[in-house]
Structure 1
């Protein structure tokens, strides 16, 4: 008995199931769990991590904790004779009843006393069982919340890694483009890389703050869960006395679901889009200018963009891209990096011999809900050409059309969106609509390219 009292029951309880250890195993971080509890916990997650400290391990990192198993077996053997029941402070009798009116434990003498006249009673173990059932439902909510926060934190971890990868890839592209512009462009190159670094640091700091916030919420939830679990293992009378307080604390600790961070990725288009054209303005030389730059933060995972962000191709491989809110996840599409809410705009798209493509504009950019947002587009489905819009308009076009290039012309104020074949100068279709939101160019195809426009320097002569 003395050996048992030196080691409280809670020290022999698994942090996962809150019961006495069964076949305990230990991790190198010194935390122990039931063998089956740890394996089930790992099966439910993508990574093998300690449920308490979150340290990650390989699948064979758990070893049998023989000493702890022997302690648990000895404890279970002594357990039936080890308990001591709490007695009534007024009558010295065991508290075996529970007063349903006063919500307090009582003894058999209390039951017949005037204080409890006409009161209803039930066995104290039944009352404790009812309260435990109610508190377990609250505990389940907290545990589900913890899973949500764990999942969002994992997404944040992956996003932070992708930010670094984006920054490294973008820096490489910037270096390659500036290499072609000779020593004269050295100062400009330094400025633009510095801007990229500043954005990487700023957005990494934002994501780290988000991760720290998730970690604090997870820690708070974990602390509350552990406290509730300790109370659930306590004596019935002690548990009942502290039940209301621990329940209120558990309910107060139930936070709202975390939100994913929008706009957290590096704005690659800002650094690479029309890069040579913007530098050309300083050099006064002829450079390539593309009116639409594809946004890699919106591209579907099965589409691969070129380094200069003006062409795409289909890929059967699925790269590890973060599931950021801007990215298409249902339709294999990509948006232009800039939207338009005024003026006139035009861009040419080379679709080549592709028999499946869609070119147009949309008002929103989340793939799973794109069909419910404003969109106006020209579709080619295996040689069947149609003009479609979000108002369920579907206008069949001539099947004799075989355009290799599509010219898109937008007049936002006049509410016109026109499609034509610039090679044959053939008008294809014109939508008329009163636009009220910013419109983004949208593309869907296995391969296409945004064509550059001809740009030249014109020096005005004064007479």
Structure 2
């Protein structure tokens, strides 16, 4: 009881915390210098004492060195480990949860200027509320994870189909240019270079897509782990800024658009009648594939 009485004597009536640079006024009451200056409204050169309402002059402020030394000693004694469930500033039970600061506070904190306009809720109610929200968020994140993994499977399937398309297109190009190897050597190299460039660009895009999905999945895994650990933690640990984790979880989305890979480079063989007169080349377009075919009428060749 003596320790509590001493702490009360060393507490500023305005901020309800240990005195900081205490000063005495004419009526004998003591306040933090900063708290006093913030609270007074001078009239005719005087201000009213926040406790007894007696007028006092700003010039009458006197530093209370003895009170300052005693306060510092008491503050140092309280710098040891704070018992679980007690306020680190006032050593009072943490019975309230401050929605604005997202942390548990004591009843003395609620009366201080720091939390004067803040929304408060009982710790037990806040714990149940945020625990329910965290569990719902965990379910939401799990659904997002399933969606991302499904997209990853689709991406692998899409890549496999694209590889087959690319392989068939290469074979088609090779067949067409083989017929005209003596005449179209440069064109063949040109088309293959374009196709290789498209292949590299597509591979690069695939790598970017795979990396994007990997990052989404990694982020979701991390958030799920954080939510799981948070939801299973103690009351005080769970109520250490749970809204931040909820906000980050809500903002985490699977922003990914699956793109079907297509081969854009096509083999358009130009008309070669004038160049290939001695071979009597006839060019016809294949209606089913849209790719031109060269028909040779040279003896022994079709």
TM-score normalised by the chain length of structure 1: 0.37
CA contact (8 A) 1:203 1:265 kept: no
Q: Distance in 2 between matches of 1:121 and 1:138?
A: 21
Structure of higher CA gyration radius: 2
Instruction: From the two aligned structures, give the one with the greater strand fraction.
Output: 1
Q: What is residue 48 of structure 2 aligned with on the other side?
A: none
The root-mean-square deviation of aligned C-alpha atoms, in Å, is 3.8
Instruction: From the two aligned structures, give the one with the greater helix fraction.
Output: 2
CA contact (8 A) 2:152 2:213 kept: yes
Of residues 255, 261, 283, the one that matches 1:288 is 283
Distance 1:280 1:266, change over 3 A: farther
Does residue 134 of structure 2 align to residue 141 of structure 1?
Answer: no
Distance 1:208 1:151, change over 3 A: same
Q: Distance in 2 between matches of 1:293 and 1:218?
A: 42
CA contact (8 A) 2:273 2:281 kept: yes
Q: Distance in 2 between matches of 1:173 and 1:162?
A: 16
Offset at 1:98? 4.1
Q: Distance in 2 between matches of 1:219 and 1:178?
A: 46
1:110-121 alignment runs, 5 A limit: 110=107
Does residue 260 of structure 2 align to residue 267 of structure 1?
Answer: no
Offset at 1:240? 0.9
Cα deviation code 1:74-128 (max 9, x no counterpart): xxxxxxxxxx952344665654x44688886467xx49x9779xx9965x44431
1:239-258 alignment runs, 5 A limit: 239-252=238-251, 254-255=252-253, 257-258=255-256
CA contact (8 A) 1:146 1:221 kept: yes
CA contact (8 A) 1:280 1:286 kept: yes
CA contact (8 A) 1:88 1:94 kept: yes
Q: What secondary structure, in the 3-state scheme, does the structure 2 residue paired with 1:142 have?
A: helix
Instruction: Give the count of matched residue pairs.
Output: 203
Larger relative contact order (CA 8 Å, sep ≥ 6) = 2
Q: What is residue 30 of structure 2 aligned with on the other side?
A: none
Q: What is residue 369 of structure 1 aligned with on the other side?
A: none
Offset at 1:131? 0.8
CA contact (8 A) 1:203 1:266 kept: no
Cα deviation code 1:133-183 (max 9, x no counterpart): 112223332332222222223222222233332222222222223333353
Q: Distance in 1 between matches of 2:196 and 2:258?
A: 23
Distance 1:121 1:243, change over 3 A: closer
